[in-house]
């Protein structure tokens, strides 16, 4: 009978212990940012050519200069994942046609480079919190 009185407390402890192990932190070191990308303009243009519905319709393409930055993102899957990326942030702005054939209006993309390689592309302003992402720039 004593076991049944203690079992809710034991169950709660086990549940809390399970939650504590569900967070995984993935991080990069600031040194992994590497050198500032030199060919970032060409890389961004190639990426847009490969990902836009109608890449020939790009208007008003503006590619900013790389700035050393960091970004922390939290997302949920089977666990809670927190990632920290150090890299070179390149802001990009453009207008292009969508699947309906009309122009979408000004779009922003933020490219995260480590050296010459794209590590992440986001569509929201990295200076704000959006969906669990907090970014800062420059370092």
Exposure on the CB side of residue 61, measured as CA atoms within 13 A:
14
> What pLDDT is recorded for position 2?
55
Question: pLDDT tens for residues 83-127?
Answer: 777 889 999 999 999 999 999 899 999 998 999 999 888 887 666
Question: pLDDT tens for residues 33-49?
Answer: 899 999 999 999 999 99
DSSP per-residue letters across 8-67: HHHHHHHHHHHHHTTEEEEE--GGGG-SPPSSHHHHHHHHHHHHSSEEEEEEEEEE---E
Residue 5: pLDDT above 70?
A: no
| Residue 14 pLDDT grade (very low, low, confident, very high; cuts 50, 70, 90) | very low
Residue 82: pLDDT above 80?
A: no
| Residue 76 pLDDT grade (very low, low, confident, very high; cuts 50, 70, 90) | low
Closest CA to 67 of 133, 117, 136: 136
Give the distance between the most distant pair of CA atoms in the chain.
75
């Amino acid at each position: 009978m004593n076991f049944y009185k203690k079992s809710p407390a034991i169950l709660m402890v086990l549940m809390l212990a399970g939650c504590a192990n569900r967070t995984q932190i993935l991080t990069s070191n600031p040194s992994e940012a590497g050198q500032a990308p030199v060919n970032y303009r060409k890389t961004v243009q190639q990426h847009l050519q490969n990902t836009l519905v109608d890449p020939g319709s790009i208007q008003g393409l503006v590619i900013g200069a790389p700035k050393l930055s960091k970004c922390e993102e939290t997302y949920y899957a089977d666990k809670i994942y927190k990632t920290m990326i150090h890299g070179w942030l390149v802001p990009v702005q453009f207008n292009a046609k969508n699947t309906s054939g009309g122009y979408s209006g000004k779009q922003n993309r933020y490219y995260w480079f480590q050296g010459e390689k794209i590590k992440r592309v986001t569509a929201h302003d990295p200076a704000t919190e959006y969906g669990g992402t907090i970014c800062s720039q420059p370092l």
